[in-house]
Amino acid sequence: MESTLKDITVAGGVEDMYGEDRATEDQLVTPWTISVASGYSLLRDPHHNKGLAFTDKERDAHYLRGLLPPVTMSQKLQEKKLMDNIRQYQVPLQKYMAMMDLEERNERLFYQLLIDNVEELLPVVYTPTVGEACQKYGSIFKRPQGLYISLKEKGKILEVLKNWPEKSIQVIVVTDGERILGLGDLGCQGMGIPVGKLALYTALGGVRPSSCLPITIDVGTNNEQLLKDEFYIGLRQRRATGKEYYDLLHEFMTAVKQNYGEKVLIQFEDFANHNAFELLAKYSTTHLVFNDDIQGTAAVVLAGLVAALKLLGGSLAEQTFLFLGAGEAGTGIAELIALEMSKQSKAPLEETRKKIFLVDSKGLIVSSRKDSLQHFKKPWAHEHEPVKDLLNAVKAIKPTVLIGSSGVGQTFTKEVIEAMASFNEKPVILALSNPTSQSECTAEEAYTWSQGRAIFASGSPFDPVEYKGKVYLPGQANNAYIFPGLGLGLVISGAIRVHNAMLLAASEALAGQVSKEHFDKGLIYPPFSNIRKISAHIAANVAAKAYELGVATHLPQPENLVKYAESCMYNPNYRTYR
Ligand SMILES: NC(=O)C1=CN([C@@H]2O[C@H](COP(=O)(O)OP(=O)(O)OC[C@H]3O[C@@H](n4cnc5c(N)ncnc54)[C@H](OP(=O)(O)O)[C@@H]3O)[C@@H](O)[C@H]2O)C=CC1
Ligand SMILES: CC(=O)C(=O)O
Ligand SMILES: [Mg+2]
């Protein structure tokens, strides 16, 4: 049978309150009508396919009779079946591929499954498995999941954007693949990261999937292995730099604004630090941009620290911080902590920075190194004698909080953690590097070497640890807590700029979601199972700040921003087709 284009009337078209399908006044009283394929093509359309959940009535109305076996299955039962299937795979990458296949077949089921099983599936669609997926992206790549903009598209980027089938884009996550997690330069194969981040925008933050656009900018790669790999999917050349690089990026940024307007959010992700800071500084005054690795990470770590103070007692200003890694994540977090301390204590920023020390690949950052330091390290070049390695830095500085943002695994050694535990009753140890292979230490190491006294969280998840008969629950300090809610807040308020105050607002909202029940379990982050509620609170705080700062364009300001944020969230429950 020929499939035909047919108008499908969707019942209750009020669930999605913003974006492309925003219900107009009329549509709020009468169900809306959209044209989608019927029959065989409907089953092949991931946006509308419901598989066995099509009712008999729908099968009759939309030429589906005989195309499906006779049984009708609820969305809940479909979820149960899929989880049974996914749990049978032993290899994480197989689970990842099963999830990507589902997204290509049935988008609503994919998101419902992810929302309902978020703690189990987050490590599948996100870190750590997404890292392996990027490393192997060339061989698992099936259908385009986002836009590829390479040097070959120079001069044509606006046309390329127009090739994307969805027109009302609200959030773009863009990478150039040069620093994918702690795995280095993965070139064009970095696409897995924007795809994964945007899946979280929808599942965790409720931004509708059709408004999300993953983009990979391909300017080549310096990864020799990829350059030699006959199946590599990207440009087979070394990375363009300097003017050639910045001209392409500028054309991209200009085309995005021209095509989607000034309210589209651009999240920079996993750029190398030699470009990341510059791109952020250059475009933060003209576009709605933020850098997730610098700013999103900072907001999540600050929230964890504020929550940890409930366990430690005392104020932020009474802590001393030491970082291993002084790049995007390290200096971004350091700056937001210093800002918050300055806000709390009214001390000047230059003063509060003095409680924060960073170690890079050459040792402690000290004033005698100032001339040779990259600009983002200079504020941290304190008066101190040079120290070559982390262990000696820990012994010299005696931090209360140790943060790993180096991208190098196993760097928090037994000696380092024992030293932290020797002068802290409850040492705070955050091993932020991703994926799991790059974590500065494991949860088990942190608890064992500190004799169960560490307050520990990591970028990638670890299972609970049993030590001397007690079970310890490690938290996950990952920017995934922040960017979905931050993005939702920016979208619903129609913000046109991101300010640091909004990141502080996001951070405060997250810290506010950590309850006594979590503290009692030693947790400094709430569980991801509550993430949609958490995201609504983050979104509300961010939107409120956007209104306060005068950068919100959706007027008037809704009265109850939390309720409004919740009402705007994409709901992947199947719709009824009439
Ligand atoms: N949990 C989360 O939410 C997030 C985690 N991350 C993770 O943080 C890690 C770093 O990311 P990012 O900051 O963007 O990377 P950058 O490349 O910007 O920074 C890495 C820093 O680590 C330093 N470094 C590298 N090797 C060593 C070493 N052996 N000893 C001491 N310092 C070292 C580098 O030193 P030098 O400057 O001298 O080269 C640099 O300062 C990654 O693994 C990433 O996955 C990032 C963002 C969010
Ligand atoms: C989590 C993240 O953004 C990173 O590891 O780069
Ligand atoms: Mg990142």
Token output for 366: 């000290």
pTM: 0.95
Q: What is the mean pLDDT of residues 59-74?
A: 97
Give residue 259 CA to ligand 1 midpoint distance, Å.
Answer: 34
Helix axes 92-105 and 107-116, enclosed angle (nearest 10): 130
Q: Is the dihedral of CA 518, 117, 477, 504 positive or negative?
A: negative
- Average pLDDT (399-419) is 98
Q: Which of 18, 111, 126, 574 is catalytic?
A: 126
Radius of gyration over every alpha carbon of the chain, rounded to an integer in angstroms: 24
Q: Within 10 A of 555 (CB to CB), how many other CB atoms are there? A: 9
Of the two residues 15 and 114, the one the predictor is more confident about is 114
Ligand 1 contact via 465 beta carbon (within 6 Å):
no
* pLDDT, position 36: 66
Residues comprising the chain, all counted: 578
| Protein residue whose Cα sits closest to atom 2 of ligand 1 | 478
Both structure tokens of 244: 């050639």
d(CA 192, ligand 2 centre) in Å? 12
Residue whose Cα lies nearest atom 37 of ligand 1: it is 360
- What is the average pLDDT across 278-293? 98
Rounded CA separation 529/539 (Å): 17
pLDDT above 90 coverage of the chain, percent: 90
Greatest alpha-carbon pair distance for the chain in Å reads 80
Looking up tokens 């009712």 gives 55
> What are the structure tokens assigned to 527, written together?
């569980």
Q: Tell me, what's the pLDDT at 311?
A: 87
Kindly report the protein residue whose alpha carbon is nearest to atom 39 of ligand 1.
361
- How would residue 212 be classed by pLDDT, with cut points 50, 70 and 90? very high
User: Which atom of ligand 2 is least distant from the CA of 293?
Assistant: 3
- The closest of 254, 245, 246, 252 to 286, measured between CA atoms, is 254
Residue 11's pLDDT band, with cuts at 50, 70 and 90, is very low
Residue 361's nearest CA partner among 398, 411, 433, 430 is: 411
Contact in structure between 216 and 127 (CB atoms under 8 Å): no
Does the model's ipTM exceed the 0.90 cut?
yes
Q: Is the CB of 479 under 6 A from ligand 2?
A: yes
Q: Residue 38: its pLDDT value, please?
A: 87
- From the list 47, 53, 17, 42, the residue with the least C-alpha distance to 32 is 17
Give the pair of three-digit tokens for residue 217: 């900018």
According to the model, what pLDDT value does residue 578 have?
Answer: 80
Beta strand extents in 282-361 (DSSP E only): 288-291, 321-324, 356-360
For residue 292 and ligand 2, the question of a CB distance below 6 A is answered with: yes
* CA angle at 322 for the pair 321 and 327, rounded to the nearest 5°: 115
Give the phi and the psi of residue 136 in degrees, each rounded to 5: -110, 15
Please report which confidence band the pLDDT of residue 6 belongs to, taking 50, 70 and 90 as the band edges. low
Distance (Å) from CA 360 to ligand 1 centroid = 8
For tokens 């008037």, name the residue: 556
Testing ligand 2's pocket by substitution, the residue of 201, 292, 460, 481 carrying the most ligand atoms inside 8 A of its CB is 292
Q: Give the residue among 330, 337, 336 at the shortest CA–CA distance from 390.
A: 330
Ligand 2, atom 6: closest residue by C-alpha: 181
Three-state secondary-structure class, residue 147: strand
Instruction: Please tell me the distance between residue 138's alpha carbon and the centre of ligand 2 in angstroms.
Output: 21
